[in-house]
């Protein structure tokens, strides 16, 4: 572990001193910025870069940009479900219900897969603070909002009877921090039956307690027996476990305002419990943090297995183990990138496929689903957030911008038959 | 922190007990806005009771809606409807309005001309407010003429007492909502500074 640096602390103390001395306005100019602007230099103060607002309203089916999408030959996309503003992370119940988390709109959706073309969806929870995380196990739906965790038992039975079960609140059992900044949670069960939960850094860049923040934790499903699985992870919002080795692979979003062209976002592999992935001292392929890192900042930290474009925001990712896609996709990862805001030339807004090296330690990355980003105009029409494999081997992709779920399927092109 | 707001739905579902009923029901049954389902002209009359017949409010601490960017009104109405922003007056007005109804109202108010503010600007307050706005970076989101953009509201021509009320509520963290940007901005800003900012912004562009 690199030594802690005291620069930030010194700054905080001096600002507090200024305020106490009555120079409040001067202090405000330094300190009172929205969370996303933290780390922006003085010369960038008038930069137009800011996060893109997510629509909170329904996108009409005819306005969903299905015809923008491009995939490799043989693959095609269709609209599988729509009309769910802010649709993000996905989890599938044993009976086929698709549960979908959101952020700003505070809802959890359930899509009842009745096999028809027009699937019905229900709002099963609302008024929550960024209920991003959803996971399903043994008949129960787990929902993680920023400040609360719930378990809905026998959820699919209740939905089939036209009811919603009263959730069990597990917030105290998990005892997770409730910071707003990077506090939205991803949830997934590991092959060990434990529930994995990331806790992002409560900042753009700052010193953190390595046991509580910038981590991936795991718990027994009831919230007991907490373990820190990974440290130095700035903000992971997606992970999955290798179908054969069981290893945890995860995406990580790197720091803003350091550069348009860096540091890269990351795909990581956890090879050892408690491994350190660099934040806040060492980013991406080995970029030393300009404020907090010293010359040794990258010593003893694990570098990524693969990188993605800086600021491209890789979020949901899953291994592919289905039979529908060609053999080369088996045990590859699909990674949804929501797309950048902290660079003038946009990047991401796509789904990439990562193929693992022979030794299982690295991955190569290439485009799989593109077209939401128009590079000529530097505009975007959709924002992929998560991917999910269906029992038939098709791949679902959620689009937060349009509140839609696409289904990607494969048929061998005629020229190959 | 409120419980997830779906207890009324659950009771209704248990009473009906059929999936068919579930499919037909809106997200919440307990309270539906008096404006829901009415033609736009009649909806606007309901809003006018507080926000003014032309969207320029004449009521204390009640915001003008005229000239607001459509997304500003849309998002705030959805926050009220979804109970993500706690406001006793507005949530009952927003419950049961469809996205399309909210977007039509937002488009209507965006087109209404902004009335001139009441009273003459005070030169000292204007100078102080201008300086504070620069140091706080208000224009970086609300635009150089404070007419707003997308989800970021118009401040120019807004009621001065409403601006004071809103900024204090952000500072005291009593104004909730999913977007916490203004809570960060207003932390520790004094009443005197808020008064100067509100006066300056209300008269901006005059």
**Three-state secondary structure of chain B:** CCCCCCHHHHHHHHHHCCHHHHHHCCCCCCCCCCCCCCCHHHHHHHHHHHHCCCCCCCCCCCCCCCCCCHHHHHHHHHHHHCCCCCCCCHHHHHCCCCHHHHHHHHHHHHCCCCCCCCCCCCHHHHHHHHHHHHHHCHHHHHCCCCCCECCECCCCCCCHHHHHHHHHHHHCCCCCCCCCHHHHHHCCCCHHHHHHHHHHHHCCCC
Strands A108-112 and A120-125: antiparallel
Ligand-binding site membership of B25 (annotated): no
Predicted TM-score (pTM) of this structure: 0.88
Q: Which of A57, A108, A172 to mutate to test the interface with B (most CBs of B within 10 A)?
A: A57
Residues of B in contact with A162 (CB under 8 A): 13, 16-22
pLDDT band (50, 70, 90) for residue A12: very low
Please judge whether A25 and B132 are an interchain contact, meaning their C-beta atoms are less than 8 angstroms apart.
yes
With beta carbons under 8 A apart, name residues in chain A contacting B2.
Answer: 127
The answer to whether the CB atoms of A33 and B184 lie below 8 A apart is yes
Contact with chain B for residue A317, Cβ under 8 A: no
Query: Chain B: nearest CA to A192, how far in angstroms?
Result: 30
SS3 (DSSP) at A413:
coil
Q: Is the separation of the CB atoms in A309 and A265 below 8 Å?
A: yes
Interface check B185 vs A, CB under 8 A: yes
Distances (CA, A) of B21 to A161, A167, A320, B13, B27: 10, 22, 38, 7, 12
Mean pLDDT (whole number) for A232-240: 98
* Lowest-confidence region among A126-135, A399-408, B17-26: B17-26
- Tell me what pLDDT residue A23 has: 36
The sign of the CA dihedral A225, A230, A236, A240 is negative
Check CB contact of A32 with chain B, cutoff 8 Å.
yes
Phi, psi at residue A411, to the nearest 5°? -135, 135
- Residue-level pLDDT at A31: 60
Q: Mind telling me how many Å the CA of A243 is from chain B's nearest CA?
A: 35
Annotation-wise, does B142 bind a ligand?
yes
- The stretch A139-146 carries a mean pLDDT of 97
CATH fold for the domain made of A63-416: Neuraminidase (2.120.10)
- State percent of chain A over pLDDT 90: 86
Contact A45 B186 (CB under 8 A): no
How does residue B11 score in pLDDT terms, banded at 50, 70 and 90? Answer: very low
- The set of residues, in sequence order, having a beta carbon less than 8 Å from that of A230 and lying 6+ positions away, is A215, A216, A236, A248, A250, A268, A270, A274, A275, A276, A277
CB A368 within 8 A of CB A351: yes
Q: Which has more confidence, B119 or A344?
A: A344
pLDDT above 70: residue A30? no
Backbone angles phi, psi at A383, to 5 degrees: -135, 100
Question: A326 preceded by cis ω (within 30°)?
Answer: no
Verify whether the Cβ–Cβ distance A35 to B181 is below 8 Å.
yes
According to DSSP, residue A54 is labeled P
Q: What is the pLDDT of residues A194-208, one digit of tens each?
A: 999 999 999 999 999
Residues of A with Cβ-Cβ distance to B84 under 8 angstroms: 104-106, 127
Beta partners for residue A72, in sequence order: none
Record the tokens describing residue A9, joined without a space. Answer: 């602390």
Q: What is the pLDDT of residues A207-233, one digit of tens each?
A: 999 999 999 999 999 999 999 999 999
Q: How many contacts, defined by CB atoms under 8 Å, are there between A and B?
A: 118
pLDDT of residue B179: 80
- CATH code at B29-110: 1.10.760.10
Contacts of A35 in chain B (CB under 8 A): 180-181, 184
> Angle A360-A350-A389 (CA atoms, 0-180°, nearest 5)?
60
Mean pLDDT over each residue of chain B, to the nearest integer:
86
pLDDT in tens, A317-330: 999 999 999 999 99
Neighbours of B47 (CB within 10 A): 17
Residue B182 annotated as lining a ligand binding site = yes
Between CA B172 and CA A359 the distance in angstroms is: 55
CA B120 distance to own-chain centroid? 26
- pLDDT tens-digit series, residues A252-271: 999 999 999 999 999 999 99
pLDDT tens digits, one per residue of B149-175:
999 999 999 999 999 999 999 999 898
Q: Which residues of B touch A180 (CB under 8 A)?
A: 180
Q: State yes or no: pLDDT of B2 exceeds 70.
A: no
- Segment A276-334, tens digit of pLDDT: 999 999 999 999 999 999 999 999 999 999 999 999 999 999 999 999 999 999 999 99
Res. A367: pLDDT tops 80: yes
State how far residue B189 is from chain A, nearest Cα, in angstroms.
8
Four-way CATH pick for B123-202: 1.10.540.10, 1.10.760.10, 3.40.309.10, 1.10.1740.10: 1.10.760.10
Q: Give the number of residues written for chain B.
A: 206
Residue ranges covered by each domain of chain A: 63-416
How far off is chain B from A59, nearest CA to CA, in Å? 10
Q: Is B141 annotated as a binding residue?
A: yes
Smallest Cβ distance to A123: which of B27, B78, B102?
B27
Predicted confidence (pLDDT) at residue A8 exceeds the cutoff of 80: no
Task: Say yes or no for a CB contact (<8 Å) between A180 and B22.
Answer: no
Question: Average pLDDT for residues A78-102, to the nearest whole number?
Answer: 98
User: Is residue B90 part of an annotated ligand binding site?
Assistant: yes
Is B77 labelled a binding residue?
Answer: no
Mean pLDDT of chain A: 91
Report the pLDDT averaged over residues B58-66. 96
pLDDT-derived band of residue B30, with 50, 70 and 90 as boundaries? Answer: low
B91-100 residue pLDDT tens? 999 999 999 9
Strand-pair partners of A169: A150
Strand partners of residue A120: A112
Place of tokens 């601490």: B61
Please check whether residue B48 touches A, CB under 8 A. Answer: no
Cα(A362)–Cα(A285) distance, integer angstroms? 13
* Residue spans in chain B of domains classed CATH 1.10.760.10: 29-110, 123-202
Chain B positions touching A127 (Cβ under 8 A) are 2, 4-6, 82-84
- pLDDT tier at A365, thresholds 50, 70, 90: very high
For residue B5, pLDDT over 90 is answered with: no
pLDDT of residue B177: 77
What is the enclosing helix (H) or strand (E) of A131? none
Other Cβ atoms within 10 Å of A78 Cβ, number: 12
Per-residue confidence band for A172, with pLDDT thresholds at 50, 70 and 90: very high
Report the pLDDT value the prediction gives residue A397, as an integer from 0 to 100. Answer: 98
Strand A227-231 to A275-276 pairing: parallel
Q: CB-based contact (8 Å) between A3 and chain B?
A: no
* Nearest Cβ partner for A24 among B10, B16, B190: B190
């Amino acid at each position: 572990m690199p030594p802690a640096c005291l620069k930030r602390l010194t700054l905080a103390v001096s600002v507090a001193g200024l305020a106490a001395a009555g120079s409040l306005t001067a202090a405000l100019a330094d300190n009172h910025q929205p969370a996303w602007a933290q780390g922006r230099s003085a010369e960038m103060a008038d930069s137009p870069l800011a996060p893109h607002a997510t629509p909170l309203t329904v996108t009409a089916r005819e306005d969903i940009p299905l015809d923008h999408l491009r995939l490799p030959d043989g693959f095609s996309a269709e609209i599988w479900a729509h009309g769910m503003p802010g649709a993000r992370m996905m989890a599938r119940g044993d009976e086929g219900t698709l549960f979908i988390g959101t952020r700003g709109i505070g809802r959890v959706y359930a899509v009842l897969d009745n096999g028809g073309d027009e699937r019905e969806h229900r709002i099963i929870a609302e008024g929550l603070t960024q209920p991003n995380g959803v996971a399903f196990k043994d008949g129960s739906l787990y929902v993680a909002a920023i400040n609360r965790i719930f378990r809905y038992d026998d959820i699919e039975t209740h939905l089939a009877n036209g009811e919603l079960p009263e959730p069990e609140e597990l917030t105290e059992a998990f005892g997770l921090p409730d910071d707003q900044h990077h506090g939205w949670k991803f949830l997934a069960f590991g092959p060990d039956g434990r529930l994995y939960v990331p806790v992002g850094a409560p900042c753009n860049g700052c010193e953190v307690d390595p046991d509580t923040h910038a981590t991936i934790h795991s718990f027994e499903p009831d919230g007991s027996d907490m373990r820190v699985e990974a440290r130095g992870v700035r903000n992971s919002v997606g992970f999955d476990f290798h179908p054969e080795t069981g290893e945890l692979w995860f995406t990580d979003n790197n720091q803003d305002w350091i550069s348009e062209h860096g540091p890269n976002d990351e795909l990581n592999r956890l090879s050892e419990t408690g491994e350190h992935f660099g934040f806040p001292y060492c980013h991406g392929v080995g970029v030393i943090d300009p404020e907090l890192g010293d010359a040794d900042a990258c010593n003893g930290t694990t570098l990524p297995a693969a990188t993605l474009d800086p600021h491209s925001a890789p979020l949901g990712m899953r291994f592919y183990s289905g039979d529908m896609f060609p053999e080369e996709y088996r045990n590859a990862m699909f990674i949804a990138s929501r797309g950048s805001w902290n660079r003038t030339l946009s990047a991401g807004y796509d789904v990439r496929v990562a193929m693992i090296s022979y030794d299982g330690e690295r991955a190569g990355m290439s485009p799989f689903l593109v077209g939401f980003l128009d590079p000529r105009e530097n505009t975007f029409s959709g924002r992929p957030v998560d991917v999910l494999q269906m029992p038939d081997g098709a791949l679902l992709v959620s689009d937060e911008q349009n509140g839609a779920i696409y289904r990607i399927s494969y048929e061998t092109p005629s020229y190959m038959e | 922190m409120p419980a997830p707001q779906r207890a009324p739905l659950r009771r209704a579902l248990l009473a009906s007990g059929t999936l068919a009923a579930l499919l037909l029901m809106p997200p919440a049954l307990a309270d539906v806005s008096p404006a829901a389902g009415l033609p736009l002209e009649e909806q606007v009359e309901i809003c006018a009771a507080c926000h003014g017949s032309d969207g320029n409010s004449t009521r204390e601490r009640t915001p003008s809606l005229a000239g607001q960017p459509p997304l500003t009104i849309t998002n705030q109405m959805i926050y009220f409807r979804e109970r993500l922003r706690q406001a006793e007056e507005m949530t009952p007005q927003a419950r049961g309005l469809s996205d399309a109804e909210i977007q039509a109202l937002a488009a209507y108010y965006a087109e209404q001309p902004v009335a001139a503010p009441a009273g003459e600007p005070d030169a000292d307050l204007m100078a102080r407010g201008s300086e504070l706005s620069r140091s706080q970076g208000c224009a970086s989101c609300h635009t150089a003429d404070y007419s707003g953009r997308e989800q970021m509201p118009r401040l120019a021509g807004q009621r001065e007492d409403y601006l004071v009320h809103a900024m204090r509520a952000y500072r005291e963290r009593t104004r909730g909502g999913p977007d916490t940007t203004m809570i960060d901005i207003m932390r520790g800003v004094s009443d005197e500074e808020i008064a100067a900012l509100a006066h300056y912004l209300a008269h901006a562009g005059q």
